Amino acid sequence: MSEPVRVLVTGGSGFIAGHLIVRLLADGYLVRATVRNGNRDKQLRKTLAAAGADPDRLEIVVADLSSDDGWAAAVRGCRFVQHVASPFPPRQPANEDEIIVPAREGTLRVLRAAAAEGVRRVVITSSFAAIGYSPKPSGTPYDETDWTNPDDAVSPYVKSKTLAERAAWDFAQRPGSPELAVVNPVGVFGPPLGENLSTSVQIIDALLRGQPPLLPRASFAVVDVRDVADLLIRAMTAPEAAGQRYLAAAGQPVTLPEIAAVLRDRLGAGAARVPSRDVPDWAVRFGARFVPPLRELAGLLGTPKSVNNAKAVTQLGWHPRSAADTVTATAEGLLALSSAAVADR
């Protein structure tokens, strides 16, 4: 019998990483996960065990992207590295370097450690942010050949993802570097594993609570977190994925009013508070001058950004869930969490 393969997953307490760990363990891998703070060990194990993960095949170690400490030991003995950790602030920082520096330098720390320890392949979870935030001719879909120009008027988060991925591809050209593959998800939704909700899942949570009362016609493409985990593993194991990047999207963008309509149609009483009225674009843009959270939504108004996921589908046999199924599963997971919280009182 062959020895089980060990995979390092960075940022183990995150939304994507949690689902990835569950899937890797189910597939028979040994998993070593990094966290910034050792105090998260017990809660992470509890959360993953509740999702069906086998804790006996999971090791949790402390390593922070802002320091070299711990990374050599974290990578040692791993055939593959899944670098998922990256800053994703709820609000954009005043100083863009607060997010750009840890994203870029943290990625390079992981790659240096992987190269030193002889890792076969590193898979980086980047973002559509690194692909689709510079203009293209109207109606032309974004795909893996596109890059966001960090010199454009983009947010610190978008710039951080772009510069971090660029730095990774530059590093991959060095002799002795591990193979590199990159997955670029759009907005990641899906069932939450615990009460610490990701920024995207918070959108569905807000809708279930009746917020915002008037819906901006903001649009974004959607992908299920379970399908992201699946694509990350395909990018890790498929020989043809070395040196490639893959856009992870379920299909074309949907608007907030469309998402709200799906929830009302599918959830019945569970969607009783979901708003049903939208708000004109001009009103959102006007309000964004004075209300910082509206600025992100204002940037998602207008013509939706068309996307093309054909590369992941044709090269790796990836078949994502629909956007409607994904947002429904997200809401059902949130309602289950709420019911469980009430039962525990």
Q: Is 161 part of the annotated catalytic residue set?
A: yes
Q: Average of pLDDT values for 280-290?
A: 79
Residue 17 pLDDT greater than 90, yes or no: yes
Instruction: Name which of 320, 299, 296, 294 is nearest 309 in CA terms.
Output: 320
Amino acid at 252: Q
Residue 93 pLDDT greater than 70, yes or no: no
- What does the pLDDT read at residue 307? 95
Residue with tokens 């992987």: 114
Which is catalytic among the residues 46, 159, 161, 305? Answer: 161
Q: If you average pLDDT over each of 182-186, 190-194, 272-276, 336-340, which comes out highest?
A: 182-186
Rounded Cα distance between 245 and 146, Å, is: 11
- pLDDT category at 54 given cuts 50, 70, 90 is confident
Residues near 177 by beta carbon (within 8 Å), at least 6 away in sequence:
111, 115, 171
The secondary element (H helix, E strand) that includes residue 107 is helix 97-116
- What does the pLDDT read at residue 343? 56
- pLDDT category at 87 given cuts 50, 70, 90 is low
Instruction: Name which of 123, 147, 118, 117 is nearest 135 in CA terms.
Output: 147
Spell out the domains of the chain, with CATH numbers in brackets: 6-195+222-250+305-321 (3.40.50.720)
- What does the pLDDT read at residue 341? 55
Q: Average of pLDDT values for 273-299?
A: 79
Rounded Cα distance between 170 and 318, Å, is: 27
Rounded Cα distance between 48 and 22, Å, is: 7
Question: Which residues face 187 on adjacent strands?
Answer: 222
Backbone angles phi, psi at 25, to 5 degrees: -65, -40
pLDDT, one tens digit per residue, over 300-324 is: 778 889 999 999 999 999 999 999 9
Q: To the nearest whole percent, how much of the chain has pLDDT over 70? A: 93
- What does the pLDDT read at residue 50? 84
Phi-psi region of 302 (alpha: psi -120 to 50; beta: other; left: phi over 0): left
- What does the pLDDT read at residue 1? 41
pLDDT, one tens digit per residue, over 246-271 is: 999 998 999 999 999 999 999 999 88
Residue 117 pLDDT greater than 90, yes or no: yes
